[in-house]
Amino acid sequence: MAGHSKWANIQHRKGRQDAARSKLFSKLSKEITVAAKMGDPDPDKNPRLRLAVKEAKSQSVPKDVIDRAIKKSQAGEGDDYEEIRYEGYGPGGVAVIVEAMTDNRNRTASNVRSTFTKAGGNLGETGSVGFMFDRKGEIVYPADVGDADTVMMAAIEAGAEDVESSEDGHVIFCADTDLNEVSNALEAELGESESTKLIWKPTTTTELDLDGMQKLMKLIDALEDDDDVQRVTANFEASDEVMDQL
């Protein structure tokens, strides 16, 4: 999973945060609308909506934007969206999972396929790379919330499966079905998390050199720029030397 924190750091360093903020807000709003549509519009009674709202807040989405997204679900918006997962291989044989939410399946499939092809990858069938990932809950806390032992004990008490602590912070993993319960228990113990969401956690990784990383970043950037794409996950690994050169 080291690749993931590294990827977040690259995006931060490149200053993509501001450029992509409005796009990110719109993707998080879409998730809130669909979650509210599929269940209760009250986050306390709808675990998926609660997690979507929590993730939006962690990305500094304003309260009025969140409220508007929930109201949209009651106004009949979000009816046409369906969730689709695409799987394929990027440059260097890296496995890539693309999660999309779309009101036009043909448009999204065509865009995702052409993005893979242009980047030197190829889109596969559903299941073609999914076996290389586990569906997990991921809860992230800053490093200053406590030392590794403190966080590990809190995580065990909360029912989590694993913790990875580094100078960048603490990443806590749990079963996907336990995310709501575990995050609530951790919040009572450690306070508000930086991020709480469902992820695809690679069970095997592919090492990339500098050229491979640059090509993969181009693919992921292009995929994330698509309005229909919610999240992109890749099972890359790269050395600190390679990361420093990006």
Torsion of CA 89, 95, 101, 102, to 10 degrees: 10
DSSP string, 1-63: -HHHHHHHHHHHHTTHHHHHHHHHHHHHHHHHHHHHHHS-SSGGG-HHHHHHHHHHHHTT--H
Q: What pLDDT does residue 140 have?
A: 93
Rg (CA), the chain: 18
Q: What pLDDT does residue 3 have?
A: 46
Residue-wise pLDDT tens digits, 8-42: 555 555 555 555 677 888 899 999 999 998 888 99
Q: What pLDDT does residue 2 have?
A: 43
Q: What pLDDT does residue 1 have?
A: 37
Residue type, 179: L
Spatial distance between the Cα atoms of 220 and 232, rounded to a whole number of angstroms: 7
Contact assessment for residue 141 and residue 169, using Cβ atoms and an 8 Å cutoff: yes
User: Measuring CA to CA, how many Å separate 103 from each of 11, 22, 34?
Assistant: 28, 20, 12
Q: Which residue, 41, 51, 23, is CA-closest to 78?
A: 41
Q: What pLDDT does residue 75 have?
A: 82
Output the tens digit of pLDDT for each of the chain's 246 residues: 344 455 555 555 555 555 567 788 889 999 999 999 888 899 888 888 999 999 899 888 999 999 999 998 888 766 688 899 999 999 999 999 999 999 999 999 999 999 999 999 999 998 999 999 999 999 999 999 999 999 999 999 999 999 999 988 999 999 999 999 999 999 999 998 988 989 999 999 999 999 999 999 999 989 999 999 999 999 998 888 888 887
Q: 140: phi > 0 → left, psi -120 to 50 → alpha, else beta; which? A: beta
